Amino acid sequence: MRKLWIGLCALISLALVAPANAAGVSQATLLFLRIAPGARPAGMGEAFVALSDDATGTWWNPAGLAFQKGNEVTMMYSRWLPQFNLSDLYYAFVGGTYEVPEWGTFGANVMFLNLGETVRTDASGTEQGTFSSYEMAITGTYGALVNDQLSMGVGLKLAYSNLSPTGAGSEQGKGTATAVAVDLGLLYKATFLPGLSLGANLSNMGPKVSYIDRAQADPLPTNLKFGVAYKLLDQEYNKLTILSDVDKELVKRDSLGRSDEFYEAIFSAWGDGDLVKSLIWHVGAEYWYSTLVGLRGGYYNDHLGKVFPYTFGVSLKYSTYRFDFSYLTAGDNHPLTDTMRYSLTVEF
């Protein structure tokens, strides 16, 4: 039963990140690292890598921190898979940035995915108490300008997965795992076309992770994302930005289930199957009336995961406080339908 639960947790995590990743056919582990934080980016079809202009940039693209002025803290909460009606299945994110003049901007974030409480049973079905399962990660980031148009960013994260406090059957050890990973980002603001920015983020680069058997270690969900953002309107009372991202999971397994190391998969994963179908395409738009009200809409296409949701969002801002809300619909009876994210951001 415990082994079944470990597998179930992995499947739940896989479904949870479908709004943010390459998919329901991912061959990686610790997939919660791919859950997209922030109600604001979520409302734009999860296209944000070329904008990355708030504290969620510590996840989206650390290079974006270099262009941010001042300091900021953001908090997000979302109840995941609402169609399953599980009150203890939720995701939370807290992030912050701190500008150091002439040095750059430092940032950090904490991600937490709660997988709920489960009854433990033995082989005969006798109950032996309960246990809780969760996954979390802490990331430190830094972004700095290369010149007036180009910035670079880096992030270092420590992740922990706690699926079960004990092994299954005769297995020794615990159903827990720890991982370290690195993110790298670039952001370019074009001079030849004012309002245009280009971004890239290579995330979750790190060694393989195992729970009990090192021989069965799985790769992290290394992901490469490219994005473009363009400000169609940038007036005092009307601002309109359109965005588009494309991302690919860089994980490669052979026919025997053996996986490449992350530094190999960065190159080998491009020849694994249909390239076009392995990409996830995101499009979105954001409109602001003055600095008071923001409206958003978006869509993304995950062919392999069979997820084609529409997203919507709204913001209300007063003084240094901003409240963001987003809603996702993926069709009737889809477990992701009615996914809502709530964020509160404070500038100081």
> The pTM is what?
0.89
Quote the CA–CA distance of 322 and 342 in Å, as a whole number.
11
pLDDT at 6: 40
* Residue 74 near residue 56 (C-beta atoms within 8 A): yes
* Residue 47 near residue 284 (C-beta atoms within 8 A): yes
Q: Residue 7, SS3?
A: helix
What does the pLDDT profile of the chain (348 residues) look like in tens digits? 344 444 444 444 444 444 443 334 678 999 999 999 999 999 999 999 999 999 999 999 999 999 999 999 999 999 988 877 777 899 999 999 999 999 999 999 999 999 988 777 666 666 767 778 999 999 999 999 999 999 999 999 999 999 877 655 555 667 899 999 999 999 999 999 999 999 999 999 999 998 877 777 999 999 999 999 999 999 999 999 999 999 999 999 887 888 999 999 999 999 877 888 899 999 999 999 999 999 999 999 998 888 899 999 999 999 999 999 999 998 887 888 899 999 999 999
Quote the CA–CA distance of 255 and 158 in Å, as a whole number.
30
| Domain range list for the chain | 2-347
Quote the CA–CA distance of 23 and 20 in Å, as a whole number.
8
- From 67, 129, 74, 130, select the one nearest 104 (Cα to Cα): 67
Q: Residue 44, SS3?
A: coil
Rg of the chain, C-alpha, whole Å: 20
Q: Residue 347, SS3?
A: strand
Kindly report the CATH number that applies to the domain delimited by 2-347.
Answer: 2.40.160.40
Torsion of CA 173, 174, 180, 185, to 10 degrees: 140
DSSP one-letter string for 183-229: EEEEEEE-SSSTTEEEEEEEEEE---B-SS-GGG-B----EEEEEEE
- CB atoms closer than 10 angstroms to residue 21: 26
Residue/partner pairs of 119-125 with CB below 8 Å, 24 or more apart: 120/1, 120/2, 120/166, 121/1, 122/1, 123/1, 123/169, 125/1
| Neighbouring-strand partners of residue 209 | 218
| Neighbouring-strand partners of residue 152 | 144, 186
* Residue 323 near residue 343 (C-beta atoms within 8 A): yes
pLDDT at 174: 77
Quote the CA–CA distance of 207 and 192 in Å, as a whole number.
40
Cα-to-chain-centroid distance, residue 91: 11
